[in-house]
């Protein structure tokens, strides 16, 4: 029971627990309009998206955006996203999975690169905050990696060992952040990355959150 009781999941939010692909694509294209760029499809986004985010824009523009361009695009993106996220909901089955993992005696937390002051009331509004021992959003500038945020997140958790922690997310950067702190990762194909771009990271890739939790349980138990 010791290993089982020690199992911990760090959940990603955008594109993982929160099914916000439509708002993300709309916000991205709204930002592109500001620079006269052509809109992209969800498939293009999932094939090209990466962090740091300016590198994603470089793939589309053929160059890195200037500091002034980045500020404009980032501002437009977040304003559009804030307006349209209200039409988005939790990923199918998310509540049941959170409930089941907690009921089994495991712990879980949430770490997102979405701004902290916006994230907390959003999570609270879905009634799922009690499932998490901690909810952390991004503080500081946008566009960077999750790795250092993951360091601080795990340090703030009591009784959680990185070796028995599994990060569940939809982006390659989630796995990079997990490996950075000595945790495991499972990547979910329903969000911002294509399966092909996720598989190159070398961690398990699954098509449903249910599968992600099953794999996370096995990984944590084997640690």
Per residue in 182-211, pLDDT tens? 999 999 999 989 999 999 999 999 999 999
Reported as a single tens digit per residue, the pLDDT across 8-38 is 999 999 999 999 999 999 999 999 998 888 9
pTM for this predicted structure:
0.92
Quickly count: other Cβ atoms within 10 Å of residue 112's Cβ. 26
Q: Report the DSSP pairing between strands 18-19 and 89-90.
A: antiparallel
Contact 47, 205 (CB under 8 A): no
DSSP characters over 28-75: HHHHHHHTTPPP--HHHHHHH--SSHHHHHHHHHSSPPPHHHHHHHHH
Please, what is the angle between helix 67-84 and helix 21-34, to 10°? 140
User: Using CA atoms, how far apart are residues 111 and 153, in angstroms rounded to an integer?
Assistant: 7
Question: What 3-state DSSP class applies to 102?
Answer: helix
DSSP 91: P
pLDDT recorded at residue 1: 33
Each of the 223 residues of the chain gets a pLDDT tens digit; together they read 333 457 999 999 999 999 999 999 999 999 999 888 899 999 999 989 888 888 888 998 889 999 999 999 999 999 999 999 999 999 999 999 999 999 999 999 999 999 999 999 999 999 999 999 999 999 887 767 899 999 999 999 999 999 999 999 999 999 999 999 999 999 999 998 999 999 999 999 999 999 999 999 999 998 7
Q: Which residue has the tokens 């988005």?
A: 88
């Amino acid at each position: 029971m010791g290993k089982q009781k020690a199992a911990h999941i760090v959940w990603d939010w955008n594109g993982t627990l929160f099914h916000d692909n439509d708002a993300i694509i709309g916000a991205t294209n709204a930002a592109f309009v500001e620079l006269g760029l052509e809109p992209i499809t969800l498939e293009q986004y999932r094939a090209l998206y990466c962090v740091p985010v300016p590198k994603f824009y470089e793939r589309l523009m053929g160059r890195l955006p200037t500091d002034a361009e980045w500020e404009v695009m980032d501002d437009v993106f977040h304003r559009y996203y804030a307006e349209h996220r209200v039409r988005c909901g939790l990923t199918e089955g998310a509540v049941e999975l959170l409930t089941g993992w907690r009921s089994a005696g495991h712990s879980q937390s949430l770490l997102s690169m979405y701004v902290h002051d916006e994230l907390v009331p959003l999570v609270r509004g879905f009634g799922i905050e009690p499932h998490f021992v901690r909810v952390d959003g991004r503080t500081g500038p946008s566009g960077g990696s999750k790795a250092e945020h993951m360091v601080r997140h795990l340090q703030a958790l009591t009784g959680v060992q990185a070796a028995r922690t599994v990060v569940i997310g939809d982006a390659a950067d989630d796995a990079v952040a997990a490996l950075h702190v000595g945790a495991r990762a499972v990547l979910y194909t329903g969000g911002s990355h294509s399966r092909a771009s996720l598989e190159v990271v070398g961690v398990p890739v699954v098509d449903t959150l249910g599968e992600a939790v099953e794999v996370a349980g096995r990984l944590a138990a084997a640690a």
